[in-house]
Amino acid sequence: MADDPASVPEPADPATGDAQERRIRGRIADARLRAEELRTEAQARLEEERGRRTWVEIVYRAWDMDRQRGGPLLAGGLAYRVFIWILPFALLLAAIVELIADSTGRSPEELARTVGLGGAIVGVVGEAARATGSSAWWLLFLGLVLSLWAARGLARALMLVSRIAWALPPSAGRATVKAALVVWGLFFGGLGVQWLRPLLFRGGVRSDLLAQIVLFGLTLAVIAGGMMLAPRRGPWTSVIAGALLMAVGLRGMGIATNVYFADALGEKGELYGGLGLAIVIMLFLFLCSRLFVWGQFLNARIGGVRMADPMPVQVPDASLDEAEEGSDGVG
């Protein structure tokens, strides 16, 4: 009954509520104090290691240069340029896969796996290849032209990042078709490394370990070659540290993708669809760009660039630009 005293809830004790709130606030204050102590201890340990180990000081100064000169912003812009290049290249790839599938009788998914693609990307390439249909030749031409145009923009972005990291004057020239072809060559070099994966892994522990070492060495060679072609003012040995950093990061992301993310996207494709794949691709591109940007700042620090070095803003004359074009490779 409504008038039954047993059915009426007893009023909460204000003292109990206040005590519980004080306990929660005390725990939050303790957690903040502990976090502050850990941060202080970490800073003290970092300062100690910087004085004892040269490589720690170099890495710290490189990270500080990256932060002061807009490394995350540069990585975001570079990832955007890579994405803009991927769009027409995906069109070109779909047209090529469809033409080869028609002439060989193999499925587009099988061909996509042959060139080193895997996971949910295989399904996307297969669907895009079938959608080209009889327009494959026209899409092949359109994708080739647009991808070359986008590759020039990507080359300019790569050179700009390198010039900012190495404190070099901005170039008065524009990225040429040769620079776009160099970007293509580096990409196909990385794709070739992925194509070797099924050929190297045979199932044994020793053979798989050897395959991992070979793949890492090839990845390091491709990255180091690209960094040596980018604008710089140090010796070729100064790019090894940045290339090693990026190679380790890419291999780690590749293992994480193969172990977890590819299967997760495949199982949840009906839920996330193309949106989930696009999010993962953009995140992957940003992380790759972040590794490249920080790697270039690390190379620049090893090559003798200091944070106090001014960033030149004047446009160099034609003779200086031509001299740099001969030494920078893709300039």
Residues 6+ apart with CB under 8 A from 189: 222, 225
The label of the residue with tokens 């395959």 reads 211
Has residue 252 got a pLDDT over 90?
no
Provide mean pLDDT across the span 94-113: 69
Provide mean pLDDT across the span 151-177: 82
Has residue 99 got a pLDDT over 70?
yes
Percent of the chain whose predicted confidence (pLDDT) is above 70: 66
Which amino acid, 36?
E
- State residue 1's pLDDT score: 47
At 117, list the tokens: 């693609």
Provide mean pLDDT across the span 240-251: 90
Q: pTM of the predicted model, to two decimals? A: 0.71
- State residue 86's pLDDT score: 85
- Inter-helix orientation angle 177-195/205-229, to 10°: 170
CA pair distance 3, 181, nearest whole angstrom: 87
Higher pLDDT, 181 or 1: 181
pLDDT tens sequence across 48-79? 666 677 777 778 788 888 888 888 899 999 99
Domain boundaries, the chain: 57-328
Cα dist from 98 to 29, 119, 159, 228, whole Å:
62, 19, 34, 36
- State residue 297's pLDDT score: 92
Provide mean pLDDT across the span 150-163: 89
- State residue 79's pLDDT score: 92
Higher pLDDT, 327 or 222: 222
- State residue 274's pLDDT score: 61
Which among 287, 328, 314, 305 is positioned nearest to 68, based on CA atoms? 305
At 175, list the tokens: 């990225």
The label of the residue with tokens 């693609």 reads 117
CA pair distance 58, 56, nearest whole angstrom: 5
Provide mean pLDDT across the span 310-327: 43
CA pair distance 294, 132, nearest whole angstrom: 39
Provide mean pLDDT across the span 130-138: 71
Question: How many other C-beta atoms lie within 10 A of the C-beta of residue 2?
Answer: 5
Has residue 116 got a pLDDT over 90?
no
Confidence of residue 316 (pLDDT cuts 50, 70, 90): very low
Has residue 263 got a pLDDT over 70?
no
- State residue 321's pLDDT score: 40
CA pair distance 331, 231, nearest whole angstrom: 7
Confidence of residue 12 (pLDDT cuts 50, 70, 90): low
Instruction: Write down the mean pLDDT value for the chain.
Output: 74
**What is the torsional sign of CA 246, 252, 258, 261?**
negative
Has residue 97 got a pLDDT over 80?
no
CA pair distance 219, 186, nearest whole angstrom: 10
At 314, list the tokens: 């004047």
- State residue 290's pLDDT score: 93
Highest mean pLDDT among 110-124, 164-178, 215-229, 252-266: 215-229
CA pair distance 80, 82, nearest whole angstrom: 5
* Cβ atoms of residues 170 and 163 within 8 Å: yes
Torsion of CA 236, 237, 239, 245, to 10 degrees: 160
Cα dist from 57 to 122, 276, 298, whole Å:
44, 40, 11
* Cβ atoms of residues 84 and 150 within 8 Å: yes
